[in-house]
Amino acid sequence: MGKKYIRETYANDVSFTIEVEQHLHSEKSRFQQIDFYQTETFGTVFTLDDLIMVTEKDEFIYHDMICHPAFAVNPNIKRVLIIGGGDGGTAREVLRYPIEALDMVEIDERVVRLCQQFLPLTASSFDSDNRFNLLFANGLEFVANAKTGAYDLIIVDSTDPIGPGEGLFTAEFYRNCYRCLNDSGILINQHESPFYTRDCREMVRAHSKLKKTFPIARIYQFHMPTYPSGHWLFGFAAKSLDPVQDFKPAEWGSFNLQTKYYNLDLHPAAFMLPTYLKEILKGVK
Amino acid sequence: MNRIHLKTPLYTALQAYAEKQLVHFDVPGHKKRNCSWITEAFGDRVLALDANSTKELDMLSKPTGPIKEAEQLMALAYGSDQAFFLVNGSTSGVQYMIMAACRPNEKIIMPRNVHRSAINALILSGAVPVFIEPEIDLEFGISNGVSLKTVQQAVRENPDAKALFLMHPTYFGVVSDLKQIIEYAHDHDLVVVIDEAHGAHFPFHPDLPANAMSLNADMATVSIHKTAGSLTQSSVLLLNERKIKKHDVRTIVNLMQTSSASYLLMASLDLARRQLAINGLSDYQFILHQISKAKKALNQLPGIEVMDKAYARKTAAFDYDETKFVVKVNGLGLSGFEVYDILFNEYNIQVELAESYVILAIIGVGDDNQTIFKLVEALQDIAQRCYGQKKKYEVNLSRFFKIPMMELTPREAHYHKKLLCNIKDSVGKVSGESIMIYPPGIPLVMPGEIISAEIVSHYQFYRSQGCVMVNDQDNPGLIKVVDK
C-alpha cells in the first residue's frame, strides 16, 4: 500500500507535498471540494479544491497578520465585517478586541460546520459570543446591499480568485467595500504572492483595482510556510489612514494581547517590501 | 486613486481663518457675531465661515492662493486644463462660455431645446444662433440629443459659424455621440461649448457616459450643485485651452461675476470635489446598482416605461445617463403633470419636472436604496390604482416640436421697441421675450421668433395643466411683441 500525499502544484514543474497520516474527511459542497487530513508535521490540514487553506502548525501566522495590523493603525475599530473566513481563525483574533459587532459572511456553510468538527483550534470562535453575527451568503451581494459607512474594518479572508472567491477580487466588490467603510475605514484582503507567475498575476490585478478605488492602497508581507513560495501578502487599503504614518504602537500595546507572530517591531517592517516586488508594483496602474 | 484629492485647500483655509477669531473691520457686516436671527435659522457655522475676500483667503477674480489650488484640483478631477469656480450657477457659466466663444454677429450652432440661459447669452453677446433640430421622441413626448448628421449639415450650410453649443446630457439624460461631433467640429475650426449642467457626476464611474472635457470639448459648464452635492448656485466652468485661452475666459468671467463671491458656495465646491474624487466611484457603484434594480421593477409595471440604456440603443441616442428616471406615465391614463402632483400631494415626493407624458426624477450623490425604493413604491402604488381605469392619455404633440421661424436675432428683438399684446392675439407677431414653463426652462418662443398658432396653443396647453409659466409680465396672459 503506497503512501498518501497532499500535493499542491505551484508551477508546471513545482509542487509541495505533505505526507498524509489519515484522510479525515472529504466532501463536495455546493461550492467546492472540502478535505481534512491528519499529518505529522502540520497537524490537521484543511484544503479547498486541493489548495491548502489552514494547517494547525502555521495558521497563527496568517490569522495574526490578517487582523492585528489594522487594529494597531485604528485602535478604535468597533464594527467589523469578515467576508469568507469559514475556518473561524480570523474571527477568533478579531473577537479578542473590545469591538461592538462582528458580521461574518461566508458563502459555504459546510466549511464552517466541518471546521467546527475537525479544526476547533480556529473554529472555536463560532462558540457563542453575542457580538458575533454569522451569515451564510454571497459576500459580493452582501456588500452591494449593505449600509453606507457601516464598518470600521472589512477583512476579505478569501480563497484565490478562482472558484467561489472570484467575485471577491472584482473592482465592483472593492467599490462596494469602500462604500460600506466609514471615513477611517480599512480594508484588509488576501493579496496572493509575487513569486510564482500565476499568483503574481492575481496579485497585480488585485492591487491595480484597489489602487483605483482607495486613496491609500498598500501591501504588507509575511512568511506563510504552507502557501506557495512561503512569501505571502495582504493588502491594506484605507480611506484616510496610512498603515505606517498612522501606526499607534502605544495604543495597541495597551490592549495587552499575546501574539505569536505579530509584534510592534514587525508592524512597520511588514510594509517594507523587497526590491523585486517594489519593481512589480511600480508598474501597476 | 489620486491621494491629492483628500485635500480641500479652500475649505481648510476658510476653516483656519475662522479659528483665528479675528476682530473684523471688513465686510460682511454681521462680523461673525451673534446675529441670532441667522444662527437660529442656519446654525453658527454659517456665520463663522461666511467671509470676505482677503489676502489670506484669496480672491475669485484673480486666484493665487487657496482658490487657485482648489480650482486646480477641480480641473484635475474633470480632466481639463483650467477650472473657474462660479457662484451664479451654470446659467452664468453658459453665458460666459458663449461670450468667450463668439463676438457680436458671429454664428453659433445650437439645438433649439437649449435652456433660457443660452438664449440670454445670445442677447448679451450678440451672437447669431443657427438652430438645429434635436431628435424628437413622440412616444415619450420629449426632445433628445442631436445627431452627427444634423451637425454636419448645419456646418455645411454655415461655413462661417464660429462655435457649436450642445447639451451633455439633455435634461432627460440622453447623450449624443459627442466624441465624433467634437472631432468633426474641430476639423471645421469650430469651438465646442458644452452645457454639462446635468452631468457633474460623469467622470466618477466608468459606467456613466464620458464627460465633455475628456472628449476634448473646448469649454464645459458643470453644475456641481445639481447632481454632485455642492450648495445650490455653485458651479464650474471648465476649459481645455485650444483656441480659447485662459485669459479670454478670465476677462469675461470678471466682467460679469460678483466681486463678493460667497465662500460658503466656493468651499462647498471644494468639499464636493473631494467627496466625488474620493468616494464617487463607490457611491455610484452602489447607486447605479440600486437604479438598475429600480428600473427593472418599474419597467415591469403595466402602463409605465422608464428610459434606460436599452432605450438609448433603440433610438438614435448614443448613450444614456442612468441616474435620470424619465418615467412615462400616460399609459396609466394620467398626464405627467397629474402624476407630478399626485407624487407631491399623496406620497410626499418631489420630482424634478413633468412633461405631458413623463415625469423626471433625478438621482444625486445623496440618494441611496431607501430613497430610490420610495419612488419605486409610490409608482407601483399609482400604477396599481390607476392602470386600466382610463384610456391612455394622449395629446397631439407633434405640432409642438416645430422650430419657430426667426425674424430678428434675440439681441435685435431685445433692443427693439415693443408692445404688450394678449397671447391669444399674438399669432404672426415677432416675440419680444422668452416664454417657457419652468422647469425645464426651454423657451417655447424667444425674442425675435415669429409666434405661431402652435406656440400659442402649446402655451395655453401648459397653462391649463397648472404649470409654472415664466414670462416677463405679471399677467401670464400677456406677451411683449416687437413693434414693427
CATH of the domain at A195: 3.40.50.150
Structural contact between residues B232 and B258, judged by C-beta atoms closer than 8 angstroms: no
3-state secondary structure of B20: coil
Substitution target from A140, A151, A174, A178 for chain B, most B beta carbons within 10 A: A178
Task: Name the β-bridge partners of B362.
Answer: B324
Q: Is the dihedral of CA A171, B2, B233, B436 positive or negative?
A: negative
The helix, strand and coil proportions of chain A, stated in percent and rounded to the nearest 5, come to: 35, 30, 35
Residue A105 β-bridge partners: A83, A135
ipTM, two decimals: 0.71
Interchain contact, A215 vs B6, CB within 8 Å: yes
CA distance A41 to chain B (A): 44
Provide mean pLDDT across the span A28-47. 97
Per DSSP, B54 falls in state B
Chain A residues with CB-CB distance to B369 below 8 A: 145
- A205 to chain B, any CB pair closer than 8 A? The answer is no
What pTM was estimated for this model as a whole? 0.86
Same domain? A241 vs A106: yes
CB pairs A-B closer than 8 Å: 40
What span, in angstroms and rounded, lies between the C-alpha atoms of B395 and A133? 57
Domain residue spans in chain B?
3-276, 281-386, 404-482
Among B285, B311, B296, B303, residue whose Cα is nearest residue B339: B303
**Partner-chain contact B369 A145, CB within 8 Å:** yes
CA atoms within 13 A on the CB side of B482: 25
Count of Cβ atoms closer than 10 Å to residue B18 Cβ: 17
pLDDT per position as a tens digit, A204-245 = 999 999 999 999 999 999 999 999 999 999 999 999 999 999
The confidence band for A1, taking pLDDT boundaries of 50, 70 and 90, is low
Segment A17-42 shows an average pLDDT of: 96
pLDDT at residue number B309: 92
Cβ–Cβ gap B5/A215 under 8 Å: yes
Write the single-letter amino acid at B173.
Answer: G
Question: B207, B274, B286: which to substitute to probe chain A, counting the most A Cβ within 10 Å?
Answer: B286
Cell numbers describing residue A207: 492591487
Mean pLDDT of A140-166: 88
- Contact by Cβ (8 Å): B450, B407: yes
**What is the per-residue pLDDT for A14?**
96
- Unique residue bearing C-alpha cell 483595482: A209
Phi/psi for B397 (5° steps) reads -90, -25
| Residue stretches of chain B with pLDDT short of 50 | none
Does A214 touch chain B if contact means CB atoms closer than 8 Å? yes
Identity of the residue in A172, A177, A211 whose CB atom sits nearest the CB atom of B1: A211
Of A179, A213, A216, the CB nearest to B3: A216
Q: Which residues pair with B319 in a beta bridge?
A: B175
- Cβ-Cβ contacts under 8 Å, A207 against chain B: none
In the block, which residue shows the cell 471644494? B270
CB–CB contact B281 A145 (8 Å): no
What is the dotted CATH code of the domain comprising B3-276?
A: 3.40.640.10
Q: Are residues A50 and A169 in the same domain?
A: no
Given an 8 Å threshold on Cβ–Cβ distance, is B286 in contact with A211? no
What φ, ψ does residue A231 adopt, rounded to 5°?
-105, 110
Superfamily of domain B404-482: Orn/Lys/Arg decarboxylase, C-terminal domain (3.90.100.10)
CA distance B312 to B273: 29
Do B281 and A178 lie within an 8 Å CB cutoff? yes
Cell of A131: 457580538
Residues B307, B325: Cα–Cα separation, whole Å: 7
The CA distance from A183 to A150, in Å, is 10
SS3 category, B9: helix
**One-letter amino acid of B292:** S
Q: Do B1 and A144 touch (CB under 8 A)?
A: no
The identity of residue B393, as a single letter, is Y
Same structural domain, A124 and A177 = yes
> Do A71 and A35 fall within a single domain?
no
* Same domain as A138, residue A33: no
Residue pLDDT, tens place only, A101-149? 999 999 999 999 999 999 999 999 998 899 999 999 999 999 998 999 9
**A63 and A50: one domain?**
no
In terms of domains, do A70 and A32 share one?
A: no
Choosing from A58, A64, A108, A157, which is the catalytic residue? Answer: A157
Contact A179 B6 (CB under 8 A): no
- Around A232, how many Cα atoms within 13 Å sit in the side-chain half-sphere? 21
Residues B377/B293, Cβ–Cβ less than 8 Å = no
CA dist B220 → B91, B116, B238 (Å): 12, 17, 5
Nearest CA-CA partner of A281 in A166, A272, A160, A156? A272
Are A175 and B3 in contact (CB < 8 Å)? no
Judge contact between A163 and A192, C-beta under 8 A.
Answer: no
**Separation CA A95–CA B141 (nearest Å):** 59
Chain B residues whose beta carbon lies within 8 Å of the beta carbon of residue A175: 281-282, 285-286
d(CA A133, CA B20): 48
Hey, which residues 362-421 in chain B have their CB within 8 Å of chain A?
Answer: 368-369
Angle CA(B401)–CA(B407)–CA(B409) in degrees, nearest 5? 95
Query: Is the domain of A253 the same as that of A269?
Result: yes
pLDDT computed for residue A166 by the predictor:
80
CB contact under 8 A, B6 and A175: no
Q: Do B282 and A212 touch (CB under 8 A)?
A: no
Of the candidates B453, B310, B454, B291, the one whose C-alpha atom is nearest the C-alpha of residue B361 is B291
Could you give the CA distance from residue A162 to residue B420 in angstroms, rounded to a whole number?
Answer: 75
B283: closest chain A residue by CA: A179
- How many Å apart are CA B51 and CA B99, to the nearest integer? 30
C-alpha cell at B343: 407624487
Round the average pLDDT of chain A to a whole number and report it.
94
Residues A64 and A32 reside in one and the same domain: no
Domain range for A191: 59-282
B residues 274..313 contacting A (CB < 8 A): 278-279, 281-283, 285-286, 289
* pLDDT tens digits along B427-466: 999 999 999 888 888 899 999 999 999 999 999 999 898 8
Average pLDDT estimate for A186-207 = 93
Q: Is B89 left (phi over 0), alpha (psi -120 to 50) or beta?
A: left
Which pLDDT value is given to residue B399? 80
Nearest to B54 by CA among B66, B46, B72, B70: B66
Q: Which residue has the higher pLDDT, A159 or A208?
A: A208
**A178: which chain B residues are within 8 Å (Cβ-Cβ)?**
279, 281-282
Question: b or e along B143-171 (b: 16 or more beta carbons within 10 Å of the residue's beta carbon)?
Answer: bbbbbbebbeebbeebeebbbbbbbbbbb
What's the pLDDT score for residue B354?
A: 94
Name every chain B residue with its beta carbon within 8 A of the beta carbon of A214.
1
Q: Is A129 among the catalytic positions?
A: no
DSSP string for residues in B211-248 = PTGGGT-SEEEE-HHHHS-S-TT-EEEEE--SSS-HHH
Fold of B281-386: Aspartate Aminotransferase, domain 1 (3.90.1150)
Cβ within 8 Å of residue B251, ≥6 positions away: none
Number of domains in chain A: 2
Q: What is the pLDDT of residue B2?
A: 78
Q: Which chain B residues are within 8 Å of A177, Cβ to Cβ?
A: 282
Instruction: Return phi, psi of residue A6, to 5°.
Output: -90, 125
Task: Give the C-alpha separation, B304 to B330, whole Å.
Answer: 8
Instruction: Say if the Cβ atoms of A172 and B283 lie within 8 Å.
Output: no
The backbone torsions φ and ψ at residue B387, rounded to the nearest 5 degrees and listed phi first, read -65, 130
Supply the Cα-derived Rg of chain A in whole angstroms.
18
Nearest residue, CB atoms, A179 vs list B1, B6, B285: B285
Burial of B385 (0-12, 13-18, 19+ CB in 10 A): exposed
Q: How far is CA B177 from CA B33, B136, B196, B206, in A?
A: 53, 16, 14, 17
Is B6's Cβ below 8 Å from some Cβ in A? yes
Chain A residue numbers with beta carbons less than 8 Å from the beta carbon of B203 are: none
Nearest to A174 by CA among A203, A129, A132, A206: A206
Same domain? A149 vs A29: no
- The partner residues of A189 in beta bridges, in order of sequence, read A156, A235
* Residue bearing the bigger pLDDT, B313 or A283: A283
Residue B475's pLDDT is 87
Q: Which of A148, A172, A215 sits opposite B1 (nearest CB)?
A: A215
Q: Quick check: helix, strand or coil at residue A100?
A: coil
Residues of A in contact with B278 (CB under 8 A): 215, 239
Length of chain B: 484
Nearest-neighbour CA in chain A from B368: distance (Å): 9
A63 in the same domain as A48: no
What distance in Å separates the CA atoms of residue A228 and residue A9, rounded to the nearest whole number? 8
Rounded to 10°, the helix B178-187/B148-157 angle is: 20
At B372, the amino acid letter reads I
Measured CA to CA, the distance from residue A89 to residue A115 in angstroms comes to 10
> What stretch of H or E contains B164?
strand B163-167
Cell 494547525 found at: A56
Q: What is residue B476's three-state secondary structure?
A: coil
Across A85-228, the runs of DSSP E, i.e. the strands, are 101-106, 132-136, 151-157, 181-190, 216-223
Q: Please answer yes or no on whether A144 and B289 come within 8 Å at the CB atom.
A: yes
> Is A144 within 8 Å of chain B by CB?
yes
- For residue B1, the chain A residues in CB contact (below 8 A) are 211-215, 217
- Can you read off the three cell numbers belonging to residue B197? 449642467
Same domain? A19 vs A100: no
Which positions ≥6 away from B442 have C-beta within 8 Å? B113, B114, B115, B116, B171, B436
Pairing of the two strands A43-48 and A33-39: antiparallel
Task: For residue B285, list chain A residues with Cβ-Cβ distance below 8 A.
Answer: 172, 175-176, 179
